[in-house]
Structure 1
Amino acid sequence: MKKLVFLLSILLISISSSFAQTAAEKELIQLSMDKWQWMSDKDVDKLDKLFDAKAKFVHMSGTWKKDEELDIIKTGRIWYKKATVKDTAMEIVGNTAIVWNRITLDAIVREQVAVTEFTVTEVYQKQGNDWKMLALTFSSVRDTHQIKH
């Protein structure tokens, strides 16, 4: 009887942690999708809350910090018109999450239309009840590139 109770306890713990991770994964994927919309809408207030104060952003033309990224979005120097997400993968390790999105980005960069295939790596950290973005890196890829799950 004690063995049965012990086994059921272990099973319950495993199931509940599995559901918790699934909930966290769903939350992060939705947050990532929301981020693309906020970037398209130039909603720097929501992005300001999402981006950690020490966040770094790596683009094809440079690397910068939070304040410059927000200014670039606000002024339209890069307008992330539409990110079509083709595939998403993620890993959660402790309070850190990495989200990979395979996207086609329609943007206006320096007044030029740009349509580019990227794998975007997003790093998040759980801070209190919120996820904060620590890093966003765009890697240019061929349109046949696939994220390995």
Structure 2
Amino acid sequence: MKKIFTALLIAIISQVSLSQNLSNEENIINLSNLKWQWMSEKNVDSLANLFHEKSVFVHMGGSWGKEQEVNIIKSGGIWYKKADIQDVSVKIIDNTAIVLSKITLLAVVGGNEVTNPFIVTEVYVNENNKWKLGSLSFTRLLSRPE
């Protein structure tokens, strides 16, 4: 049991050290990828913690705030089943990070499975040394990403 605890402690320390060695851009990309995973899993508790209280979400069907986005995910109104990410870039300006991702999104919307190519814009703000998602916006592409 002591060996397992020691191995676990070493693994945690290694992860923390690795995270500290990553650039801000890499940390933001990792956070964005984690967000897609949580959306796929409908992990609304983690998403609610990630979303800024004043966050906004722009979809093909409208725009709304944090509470409605969390409720839509929780109820299954939109299930972000799988985001196939083809390209991602990050620009950091002071305490703001802008993530642009070219994705093909497999989602279930209103009970119908749909696949759409998007450019997704995510805006993160750093408050008290913690990144929060301030905006998530989907722009549908006219053709599938290459």
State the TM-score bracket (shorter-chain normalisation).
0.7 to 0.9
The answer to whether 1:67 aligns with 2:80 is no
What residue is the counterpart of 1:113 in the other structure?
Answer: 113
1:41-80 counterparts in 2 under 5 A?
Answer: 41-80=41-80
- 1:66-109 Cα offsets, whole Å, 9 max, x none, are 00000000010000000000000110000001000100000000
CA distance in 1, matches of 2:83, 2:142: 16
Q: What letter is aligned with 1:52? A: H
What residue is the counterpart of 1:96 in the other structure?
Answer: 96
Q: What letter is aligned with 1:116? A: N
CA shift, 1:143, in A, is 3.5
Give the secondary-structure state (helix, strand or coil) at the position aligned to 2:23: helix
What residue is the counterpart of 1:10 in the other structure?
Answer: none
Aligned residues: 127
Give the secondary-structure state (helix, strand or coil) at the position aligned to 2:118: strand
CA shift, 1:144, in A, is 5.2
- TM-score of the aligned structures, taking structure 2 as reference length: 0.83
- 1:84-143 Cα offsets, whole Å, 9 max, x none, are 000001100000010001000000001111100000000001111210011000000134
Q: What letter is aligned with 2:118? A: F
Q: What letter is aligned with 1:121? A: T
Gaps of 5+ in 1: 1-19
Q: What letter is aligned with 1:111? A: G
The answer to whether 1:86 aligns with 2:103 is no
Gaps of 5+ in 2: 1-19
Give the secondary-structure state (helix, strand or coil) at the position aligned to 2:29: helix
CA distance in 1, matches of 2:75, 2:29: 27
Give the secondary-structure state (helix, strand or coil) at the position aligned to 2:33: helix
What residue is the counterpart of 1:127 in the other structure?
Answer: 127
